[in-house]
Amino acid sequence: MDAVVAYASLIEKFGSNYHTTASLTEELRNIGRAIEQKVQATNNYLLTKEILEIRLIEKNYILFQQTDYLLKLKEQVPELRAKLASMQLDCPLCDDYINTAEALFKYHGNESALLASIGRQANTMESIIIVLARKERENIAGYVRNTQRILYVALIALTLFGFVLSVILSKAILSPLQKLEATVRKINAGEFDLRLDTGGDVETASLQKSFNTMLDTLDLARESLAQTIKLLQDKSIQLIESEKLASIGILASGVAHEINNPLANISLTAETMRDEGNTLTEAEKEELIADIIDQTDRASDVVHNLLGYAGSMKNSKTDVVNIISVLKNAVTLVAHELKLHDIHLTTDLPESSLWVKGNKGRLEQVFVNIMLNGIQAMDKNGQLALRAAVEQENESIVIEIEDNGAGISHDTLKNIFDPFFTTKSTGEGTGLGLYVSYGIIQEHGGRIEVLSDVGKGAVFRLRFPLINIAEKGI
């Protein structure tokens, strides 16, 4: 019992440590934002650049949960504070920022120690349960031996005292066993709150008490295990959200570059109207204004597409989805990355709509992730292909995303869907992209396979079951 209580206490401490870390992380972000606003108010370009570098380190820590980034913050924030002091500006928030980073560093150490203690305590509990099970087997064996002795006596008594005595003895012997059997059946069916009555002879009462003690111990272990699973699920959700934010961050960098072009055109047109406004005819002015509106709409569409992708990932609703439309939206989202890396995309998609049961945002996340991986695997002037076709015999759609990058070795192919496995440099990938994509594909009843060899590019082939909307009456 002490081991179970200790295990439950460690789980509680781990949960408390986890929530404290999350709270301190949010506090670090808020303090960093406040310092950034204070520095930007100085209108000093070098200081602004320095605080933005500090905030980037902070965001990397939030994404990857690595303590190395906290150490970098402790080194760079005092330098920023010194430069502010040279401008006769106080920075009390800098101390708060450093203290929060130190606290986070401490709690990360606590988390590792707690996980190690939980593992050791779980091993101890396993040993205790094994001992309890052995004792129970010994008790049951003793009870069976005693029962056999009683039966032998009953047989002799039956010949001496007749049928009535045999019936009484049989009832006294079999009734506790029948109750035990009935209780075990109900517990196997899920009624874990049941306990045996501890009445009857000494042997029966001893067995019943031991059996009840074992059930109490198993209940405590089951509750502790449920808490552990809940904490691990929360941690898993946090890691998956980090991967989603990472993919949005990659797309956002391309969006920023794409928005630059219409903004530059708007700026040049506005300067023309300012400098030559008095000499322009009404028709020329109308033409310049129309150009500004067109460029504004272009920038708005780019931002709208990214916001739509980020918002759809938060929606977990399942519906009937046109997967061809989802593929086209995914292509729109990665268009900016294609331009940035000089990648040529070819598509071969059916003209008609094809329907699957699923979640639009999650499916988009899969296609965007695989296409981004292909883009990052190629040098400039690479070739990316997106194909889709109906497989009539299996009533499914087959989607292929092919790149002509460096390819994947056979040894690496075995691990690409494992969590935290990545071939990228530290800080450039979480190792969760393909793991999360694999899970989403499984949720949609689909399959994924990868065909590749070193130096020959890679083909990601996905299959999803189709829905005939005419037959389903949708």
CATH homologous superfamily of 316-472? Histidine kinase-like ATPase, C-terminal domain (3.30.565.10)
Q: Does position 344 have pLDDT exceeding 80, yes or no?
A: yes
pLDDT at res. 85: 73
Predicted local distance difference test score (pLDDT) of residue 312: 46
Q: What is the pLDDT of residue 347?
A: 94
Give percent of the chain above pLDDT 70.
74
- 271 or 35, which is more confident? 35
pLDDT in the model for residue 348: 95
What gap in Å lies between CA 296 and CA 375, rounded to an integer? 28
pLDDT: which is higher, 205 or 354: 354
Please give the Cα distance from 361 to 359 (Å, whole number).
6
Question: Over the stretch 183-192, which tens digit does the pLDDT of each residue have?
Answer: 777 777 766 6
pLDDT grade for 349, boundaries at 50, 70 and 90: very high
Q: Is pLDDT above 90 for 356?
A: yes
pLDDT tens digit string along 288-327? 777 677 667 656 655 655 555 455 455 567 889 999 999 9
Would you say residue 467 has pLDDT above 80? yes
- Whether 179 shows a pLDDT value over 80: the answer reads no
Mean pLDDT of 244-257: 54
pLDDT tens per residue across span 375-385:
988 988 899 99
Q: Write down the pLDDT at residue 109.
A: 73
Under 8 Å between Cβ of 417 and 436:
no
Domain ranges across the chain:
2-125, 316-472
Statement: residue 358 has pLDDT above 70: yes
Task: Write the CATH number of the domain with boundaries 2-125.
Answer: 1.20.120
Average confidence (pLDDT) over 318-346: 90
